[in-house]
């Protein structure tokens, strides 16, 4: 699930931002030269290295046609002495399209994912990158923390270059709440337990916090197929993804006793009309429109989009005083770790065995985390959407960057350095950075540990039971039946039994054996 795809909404009511360029970064100024430039003067320039990349478009307006004719991609290529053949897959069909391409032998040199691609790893089609990173990736080693590298390590070898989430929230899904709604209904402290959370949602339902007298408030909203309710489940230590240690076995969290408790709670939310009645069918646009229409009190989303949400509400509800605030996940009794699963990284890039020049590929990504590369990620092409004078002062034309559209995909696709507040202040302003850091501060305080960090994929031949760390249709259908009242809560036990007998027991054995040998602390 593409949960996290870190970018910052840029609908800011300014067209030009200027600040002094003494911007702190995670790399020093000695790292600004491109790989192509460093070779000049010592040896004859090498011909550009050509490689193909398979990316997901993340629902953004990505370039069409020949990638090298796009000014943004062309600039990256020139700075890294490469020729980039990039294919963008539509996000909604990306997983299926990848499988089709792999099955037909259409393997790219580089593939972007959210971890080590299980299918390619299992088929021995990925290159270990340790030696290349040691030799050609000094900035990658400096910027990206050990926890992120650990997450893409299999059998002691690194199989992907991860995007750092250091200095950022350690979870990429958390509660967003309308703080002004809390104020209007008299809630002075954030709820700390599921019962207090219920009380807040009931107040949102009954006390007309949007002030229109229509009783149209939706206390809590979610999206189709039981998505974006993750933090609600997390109050009980449950998760639709990842593994959990139960009675000496590592089981998928979506089959754990904690999930049964969580589904009973969501069922209560639905019965009391505290949950959006269309939560199983809401498309993204419908869901977002409800929030912007001043109808939703609580939702779950990516903390890196905190300013994006605040800015949208500022524009949709002028003069309303809408305040988007983070909410630390309440904890059910006995729960030590609440919230979504902790992620040591966001997106990743793996190199396949089709690649003829892995060194050039690693050099390309190493440039992206240099000072020069980070400025490109944040501001675009120099002398086009920003300028930098001899004193280091950056002048950024946000309106021009927004108009040419690359700002909408550049960071999502190619930011590997993670959160850089000083550069973000230049890009979106101090208010936006303050709002995001408000969310990040809360995101650092919650999250469920990943006990299978670095584990290989555990997959079944039965697609309906899903992969070990990702639910299949059996779980989604069971959850919907319980929450909508079509089956009792105890129906969950029947689901778990069926899941186990249809191949789940084998997955549990694989995960437990790996954990006992590698992950047990």
Of residues 397 and 463, more confidence is placed in: 397
How does pLDDT run across 335-354, given as a tens digit for each residue?
Answer: 999 999 998 888 899 999 99
For the chain, the residue count is 521
The confidence score (pLDDT) of residue 40 equals 44
Going by pLDDT thresholds of 50, 70 and 90, the confidence category of residue 17 is: very low
Q: Where are the domains of the chain?
A: 49-168+344-419, 171-341+430-521
CA pair distance 76, 194, nearest whole angstrom = 48
CA pair distance 377, 426, nearest whole angstrom = 12
How does pLDDT run across 236-270, given as a tens digit for each residue?
Answer: 999 998 899 999 999 999 999 999 999 999 999 99
pTM of the model: 0.81
CA pair distance 476, 487, nearest whole angstrom = 13
How would you classify residue 482: left for phi > 0, otherwise alpha for psi between -120 and 50, otherwise beta?
alpha
CA pair distance 221, 167, nearest whole angstrom = 29
Long-range contacts: 488-497, Cβ < 8 Å, 24+? 489/260, 489/263, 489/264, 489/267, 492/259, 492/260, 492/263, 493/260, 495/255, 496/255
Cα angle 13, 62, 386 (rounded to 5 degrees) comes to 45
Over its C-alpha atoms, the chain yields an Rg (Å, rounded) of 24
How does pLDDT run across 407-432, given as a tens digit for each residue?
Answer: 888 988 899 998 889 898 998 899 99
The confidence score (pLDDT) of residue 42 equals 57
3-class secondary structure for 38-82? HHCCCCCCCCCEEEEEEEECCCCCCCCCCHHHCHHHHHHHHHHCE
Give the rounded percent of residues in the chain with a pLDDT score beyond 70: 90
pLDDT at 1 over 70: no
Of 97-106, 294-303, 374-383, least confident by mean pLDDT is 97-106
The confidence score (pLDDT) of residue 167 equals 63
**Contact criterion met (CB below 8 Å) for 407 and 74:** no
pLDDT at 457 over 90: no
> 293 vs 187, 224, 296, 314, 401, CA distance in Å?
22, 19, 8, 11, 28
Going by pLDDT thresholds of 50, 70 and 90, the confidence category of residue 481 is: very high
Please choose, from the candidates 126, 3, 10, 2, the residue with its C-alpha nearest in 3D space to the C-alpha of residue 406. 10
Fold observed for domain 171-341+430-521: D-Maltodextrin-Binding Protein; domain 2 (3.40.190)
> 237 vs 52, 90, 292, CA distance in Å?
41, 33, 30
CA pair distance 248, 508, nearest whole angstrom = 11
Q: Is 382 helix (H, G, I), strand (E, B) or coil?
A: strand
**Contact criterion met (CB below 8 Å) for 352 and 101:** no
Residue with tokens 């100024």: 29
Burial class (CB in 10 A: 0-12, 13-18, 19+), 369: buried
Cα-Cα-Cα-Cα torsion 475, 481, 487, 490, nearest 10 degrees, comes to 30
How does pLDDT run across 84-140, given as a tens digit for each residue?
Answer: 999 999 988 888 898 889 888 899 999 999 888 888 998 899 999 999 999 999 999
Q: Which CATH number fits domain 49-168+344-419: 2.160.10.10, 3.40.190.10, 3.40.50.2300, 3.30.565.10?
A: 3.40.190.10
pLDDT at 15 over 70: no
Cα angle 221, 185, 220 (rounded to 5 degrees) comes to 5
């Amino acid at each position: 699930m593409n949960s996290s795809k870190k970018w910052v909404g840029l609908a800011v009511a300014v067209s030009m931002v200027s600040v002094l360029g003494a911007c702190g970064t995670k790399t020093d100024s000695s790292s600004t030269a491109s790989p192509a430039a460093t070779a000049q003067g010592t040896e004859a320039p090498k011909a550009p290295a050509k490689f193909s990349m398979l990316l997901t478009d993340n629902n953004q307006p990505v370039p069409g046609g020949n990638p090298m004719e796009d000014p943004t991609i062309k600039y990256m290529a020139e700075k890294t002495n490469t020729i980039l053949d990039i294919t963008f897959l539509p996000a909604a069909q990306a997983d299926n399209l990848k499988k089709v391409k792999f099955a037909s032998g259409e393997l790219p040199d580089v593939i972007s994912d959210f971890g080590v691609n299980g299918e390619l790893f299992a088929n021995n089609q990925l290159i270990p990158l340790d030696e290349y990173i040691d030799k050609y990736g000094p900035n990658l080693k400096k910027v990206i923390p050990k926890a992120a590298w650990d997450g893409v390590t299999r059998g002691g070898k690194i199989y992907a270059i991860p995007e750092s989430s250091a200095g950022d929230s350690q979870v990429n899904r958390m509660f967003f709440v309308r703080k002004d709604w809390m104020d209007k209904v008299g809630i002075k402290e954030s709820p700390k337990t599921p019962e207090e959370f219920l009380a807040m949602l009931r107040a949102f339902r009954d006390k007309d916090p949007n002030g229109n007298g229509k009783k149209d408030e939706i206390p809590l909203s979610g999206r189709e197929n039981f998505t974006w309710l993750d933090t609600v489940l997390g109050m009980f230590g449950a998760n639709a993804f990842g593994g959990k240690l139960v009675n000496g076995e590592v089981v998928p969290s979506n089959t754990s006793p904690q999930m049964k408790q969580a589904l009973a709670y969501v069922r209560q939310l639905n019965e009391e009309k505290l949950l959006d009645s269309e939560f199983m069918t809401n498309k993204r646009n419908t869901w977002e429109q409800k929030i912007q229409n001043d109808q939703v009190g609580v939702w779950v989303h990516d903390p890196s989009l905190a300013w994006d949400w605040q800015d949208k509400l500022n524009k949709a509800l002028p003069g309303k005083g809408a305040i988007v605030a983070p909410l630390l996940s309440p904890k059910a009794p006995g729960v030590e770790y609440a919230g979504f699963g902790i992620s040591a990284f966001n997106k990743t890039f793996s190199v396949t065995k089709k690649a003829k020049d892995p060194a050039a590929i690693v050099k390309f990504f190493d440039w992206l985390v240099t000072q020069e590369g980070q400025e490109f990620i944040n501001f675009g092409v120099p002398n086009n959407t920003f300028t930098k004078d001899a004193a280091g002062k950056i002048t950024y034309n946000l309106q021009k960057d927004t108009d040419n559209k690359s700002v909408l995909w550049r960071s999502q696709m190619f930011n590997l350095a993670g959160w850089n507040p000083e550069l973000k202040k230049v890009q979106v302003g101090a208010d936006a950075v303050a709002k995001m850091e408000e969310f990040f501060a809360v995101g650092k305080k919650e999250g469920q540990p990943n006990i299978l960090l670095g584990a290989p994929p555990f997959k079944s031949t039965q697609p309906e039971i899903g992969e070990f760390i990702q639910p299949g249709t059996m779980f989604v259908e069971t959850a919907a039946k319980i929450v909508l009242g079509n089956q009792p809560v105890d129906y969950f036990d029947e689901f778990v039994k069926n899941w186990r007998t249809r191949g789940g027991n084998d997955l549990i054995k694989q995960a437990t054996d790996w954990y006992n040998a590698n992950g047990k602390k």
